[in-house]
Chain A
Amino acid sequence: MEAHRQMEDQAAAFLARRDGDDWTEANQVELEQWLAGSIARRVAFLRLEAAWDEARRLKALSAGLPSGVVPPAGEWRHSPFFDPESAASPRVEAVAPAVSTHSSSAKGNVRDATRVRPLAFAATVLLALGVGAYFISTPRGDRYSTPIGGIASVPLSDGSNITLNTATQVRVELTPHERDIRLDAGEAFFEVAHDPARPFVVQVGNTRIIAVGTKFSVRREGDDVRVVVTEGKVRVESQSRRGGGLGVTSKSEGDADAMPDATRDGPPGAVFLTPGSVASASDDGIVIENEALAEVEDDLTWRQGYFTFHDTSLADAVAEFNRYNKHQIVIEDPAVAAIRISGTFRALNYEAFVRVLDDGFAIHSRSSEDTTTLRK
């Protein structure tokens, strides 16, 4: 019964030689003759060939590494995922410190839980932006923006730092009394230098987020605003167009006896958020959820150029990819949209994502230059 193992060795020898630089027509003939010898040879060959093809997928994890450099075992998975070739990453610096990609719980995607409106909206609106991040200075402050797929780190003169996510527009005006930021579109992560004399105010539509020294992210989808705090404390104020009487709902997913981290305070319609708090503000009010910090940080892995899904519907995952790529993915089949996936993906590598769907879930894809459609 040694035969199978011998065949495996022979198959490996053929494949390794074919993988080399001196594979000739004669070698090919030799291989085909060998394969024709028995089905057992063929299946041994196919099996190794499949594994060797599969090894190509390591490419998905090689981002940011120069050619010819082999990452040390284990370490490479923590490397930042910036794609240096992408024209769409304008001022790529070592952005924020690496966050944990491990989630302490698998309760479901934070965004999933709080997002009220579909994301596809954001993607279509922002497609209009051109390629190449730009910076414009005007008397009324500086403007920064990123194209679809771009990430930019913007250090401010007060020592704060803003990380702009894909398709994001931010205005910055630093005065002696206030640090005035406007998030006109997209998503940004703020690391605020401590300065009690000059509050750091992020205005997003009707919502104001006020910080002294802290770290938080803000995402805008039309009039909906989502604030995630990872460090320190921020105040969120929302001015409803209907005026006054803004509802604040708090739902805690954690232990029932734990005090909610976010508390009502100050003017009506204002709440304080502490690390792990996720606030969603819309004209209907502010909804606050308290999540494990690790989960919240999974939500912010875009700063490293990738996103992390936990039991996320394919519809939502695709919407995320569409936010980052001009190439749009369209799901044609509701059954496909409902599939739930987990994992970490490079934001710009939608091709790898589609391939993974194909391989892992037998979802068929059809690609044209600017769209990929998915169906069972």
Chain B
Amino acid sequence: MDESLDTWFKREILVHEASLVRYLLRTWPNREEVYDLRQDAYVRVYEAAAKSRPQSPKSFLFATARNLMADHTRRRRIVVIDAVGDLDALNVLVDELSPESRTSAFEDLRRLADAFDQLPPKCRETVWMRRVDDLPQREVATRLGISQKTVEKHVMKGMKLLAAALFRSEGSGRAETTEHEKQRKEQSRGSP
């Protein structure tokens, strides 16, 4: 297992999941396919990075997502007007969301706290005992009066829900980019 590639992938690629999903949702007409597009983009980026790490990981991720959508569009012989329009705006989008302009790391912590609070009660307790108190699963099972197998299920569910919530696109960034989007479209309409 290439440890450093995995670490690189988490640090440079996965952290952009919220922006990536936001971009995919805005660009791709079918919401249900966004999850798969995201994973496919990850696969492509990971494969490419195994050969050589891209200089600018975020731009590379977004370019990969764009190419992926273009491929799908061609393959299905459908023309998605909005998608084409948005693809051109990609560079603007990436510049706009440089890592430095991310809100604050405290935002991340708050997002984590909120995600944690949304977990179902038993799952939430399990996550706390495992991650904060470092109690072994066996001990968590005893304290909650459930089987170890059930603790394992809560852990599974916990990490999936946390991943979904942590990397979810939400917050002020969305309103800003949407607003930006509108302006851009108006401009392009004005100048043929």
A: residues with CB less than 8 A from B are 1, 4-5, 7-9, 12-13, 15-17, 19-21, 32, 35, 38-40, 42-44, 46-52, 54-62, 67-68, 70-71, 73-74, 77, 339, 341-345, 356-357, 359-362
Most B Cβ at <10 Å: residue of A52, A54, A56, A57: A54
B residues lining the A interface (CB < 8 Å)? 1, 6, 9-10, 14, 17, 33, 35-36, 39-40, 42-43, 46-47, 99-100, 102-109, 112-113, 116-117, 124-125, 127-133, 135-138, 143, 148, 151-153, 155-160, 162-163, 166-167
With a cutoff of 8 Å between Cβ atoms, the chain A residues found around residue B104 in the complex are 341-343, 360
Residues in B whose Cβ lies below 8 Å from that of A44: 39
* Most chain B CB within a 10 A radius of its CB, from A15, A16, A362: A16
Q: How many A-B pairs with Cβ below 8 Å?
A: 156
- Distance (Å) between the CB of A310 and the closest chain B CB? 10
Candidates A35, A58, A339, A361; contact of B112 at CB < 8 Å:
A58
When distances are taken between beta carbons in the complex, the residues of chain A under 8 Å from B131 are 52, 55-56, 58-59
Shortest Cβ distance from residue A347 to the other chain B in the assembled complex, whole angstroms: 14
Contacts of A43 in B (CB 8 A): 9, 39, 42-43, 46
Q: B163 contacts A50, CB within 8 Å?
A: yes
A-B contact pairs, 11 of them (CB 8 A): A1-B36, A4-B36, A12-B159, A20-B152, A38-B43, A43-B39, A48-B163, A54-B112, A55-B131, A361-B100, A361-B105
CB-based contact B108/A47 at 8 Å? no
Q: How far is the CB of B146 from chain A (nearest CB, A)?
A: 13
Provide the bound-state CA to CA distance between A47 and B138, in Å.
Answer: 25
With A19-B130, A68-B133, A73-B124 already in contact, 9 other A-B pairs whose C-beta atoms are closer than 8 Å: A4-B39, A12-B156, A16-B152, A16-B159, A20-B138, A21-B136, A39-B43, A42-B6, A341-B104
User: In the complex, A40 Cα to B113 Cα: how many Å?
Assistant: 29
For B112, list chain A residues within 8 Å (CB): 54-55, 57-58
Q: What are the residues of chain B within 8 A of A341 when measuring CB–CB?
A: 104-106
Of B124, B129, B155, the most chain A CB neighbours within 10 A belong to B155
A12-B160, A46-B14, A361-B100 given; A70·B46 CB < 8 A: no
A17 to B135, CA, bound (A): 15
Q: Are A68 and B160 in contact (CB under 8 A)?
A: no
Nearest B residue to A344 by beta-carbon distance?
Answer: B106
- CA–CA, A12 and B100, complex, Å: 32
Contact B109 A343 (CB under 8 A): yes
Q: Is the CB of B148 within 8 A of A68?
A: no
Q: With A4-B35, A39-B46, A57-B109 known to touch, is A361 a contact of B137 (CB < 8 Å)?
A: no
**Is B99 a contact partner of A32 (Cβ separation < 8 A)?**
no
Find B108's partner among A48, A59, A62, A360 (CB 8 Å cutoff). Answer: A360
Q: What's the Cα separation between A230 and B104 when bound, in Å?
A: 28
**Which residues of A sit under 8 angstroms from B153, Cβ to Cβ?**
16
Residues of chain B within 8 A of A52, CB atoms compared? 131, 158-159, 162
Q: How far is the CB of A8 from chain B (nearest CB, A)?
A: 7
CB within 8 Å for A50 and B14 given contacts A42-B46, A43-B42: yes
- Chain A residues whose C-beta falls within 8 Å of the C-beta of B158 in the assembled complex: 52, 55
| Among B17, B103, B133, B153: residue with most chain A CB under 10 A | B133
Q: Which residue on B lies nearest to A52, using beta carbons? A: B159
